[in-house]
Amino acid sequence: MSRRKIVAGNWKMNKNNNDALQLIRDILATNLPRDIHTVLALPSIYLKNGVDMLKHIFGIDVAAQNCHQEQSGAFTGEISAPMLSSISVPYVVIGHSERRQYFYENNEQLAQKVDAALANGLQPIFCCGESLDIRKSGDHVIYVSEQIRESLFHLSDDKWANIIIAYEPIWAIGTGETASPGQAQEMHAALRSMIGIEKSADIADNLSILYGGSVKSTNAADIFRGADVDGALVGGASLDAGGFLEIVDALAQS
C-alpha cells in the first residue's frame, strides 16, 4: 500500500453508548473530504456498531485501541486480534504510550501484538514517542528509533505495506502543549530516513507516519506542512465532530 493521508481519532476511554453512536452519526453528517482516510479508534464495546454504521461509507473506518498478542486463551478481560477480525475491524492501535505507561507494555510484547494483528488481517497503527526527560536529554531520535527497531524490524518487507506509524511525544499528549511543526517534521524525517537506510527506500517512501499530541483545529494546518507528516492521531479534539472535521479538512488542504 502506498503512503496515505490519514486522520485517526483516538477516543480513549470516553463516551457512553448513546453519546458514542451519536458522535459517529455527527461525524458522518459532516462533509468528510474523500481523499483523506478517516479512522475512529473506538472503545471496544462500540466497535461492532461502528463497523456496521461505516461499512458502506467510503474512506472512513474503525480501529480498536489495543489487542492481545495471543490468539485466544485464559486472559480475562482481553480482546484478541481474531475477535477483532471476526467483526471486520480493519485497524488496531498498538503501543499507545498510555498502554506502555499504565499497562507496562514493552517493545518485545508490542512486536508480538503487531504479529498477531497482521496475522489476522488487521493493520497496526503503531505508536512510538519519548518522555519529556528523554526529549530534554537530546536522545529522542535514538530512543524512538529503538522502539521501532525492537517492535517492527523483525517484519518481512511485504508486511510493511500494512503498517502505519504514529509518533506521539508523551509530553504533548493531553497537555495542550504540542510539538512544534519543526519538532514533528524533524522526528518524522529522521524515522523515515532510518527506515530507508536500514530496511529499504521503498518501505520508507510508502510508509504513512502520523503525528499525535494535542493536535487541534487551530494547530493542525501548521503541523501538516511537514513533508514527512502524513496525518494525525488525535485524542481530545476527536471527541467533537466539528473540530475533528476541521482537522481532516486541514490535512486535505495541506
Interface residues with ligand 13P (CB under 6 A)?
10, 96, 168, 173-174, 212-215, 233-237
Q: Considering the complex, state which of residue 95 and residue 120 has its C-beta at the smaller distance from ligand 13P.
A: 95
We find the least distance from the C-beta atom of residue 40 to ligand 13P, in angstroms, to be 12
The owner of cell 517484519 is 155
Active-site residue set: 96, 168
In the complex, least distance from residue 74 CB atom to ligand 13P, rounded to whole angstroms? 29
CB nearer ligand 13P, residue 146 or residue 240: 240
C-alpha cell at 178: 504540542
What length does the chain have? 254
Q: Strand 6-10 relative to strand 123-128: parallel, antiparallel, unpaired?
A: unpaired
Residue 106: how many other CB atoms lie within 10 Å: 12
Look up cell 489476522; give the residue: 120
Spatial distance between the Cα atoms of 79 and 193, rounded to a whole number of angstroms:
34
Answer positive or negative: Cα dihedral of 38, 42, 44, 50. negative
List the one residue out of 239, 222, 205 whose CA is nearest residue 4: 205
Q: What does the alpha-carbon distance between residue 163 and residue 160 come to, in Å, rounded to a whole number?
A: 5
CB of 164 to ligand 13P, least distance (A): 12
142 in the Ramachandran plot: left (φ > 0), alpha (ψ -120 to 50) or beta?
alpha
Q: Which is nearer to ligand 13P, 168 or 199 (CB)?
A: 168
- Residue with Cβ nearer ligand 13P (164 or 203): 164
Select the residue whose beta carbon is closest to ligand 13P and give its number: 235
> Which is nearer to ligand 13P, 203 or 235 (by Cβ)?
235
Least separation in angstroms between CB 129 and ligand 13P:
9
Q: Which residue has the cell 500500500?
A: 1
DSSP 150-189: HHHTTS-GGGGGG-EEEE--GGGSSSS-PPPHHHHHHHHH
For the bound state, the minimum distance from the C-beta of residue 58 to ligand 13P, rounded and expressed in Å, comes to: 24
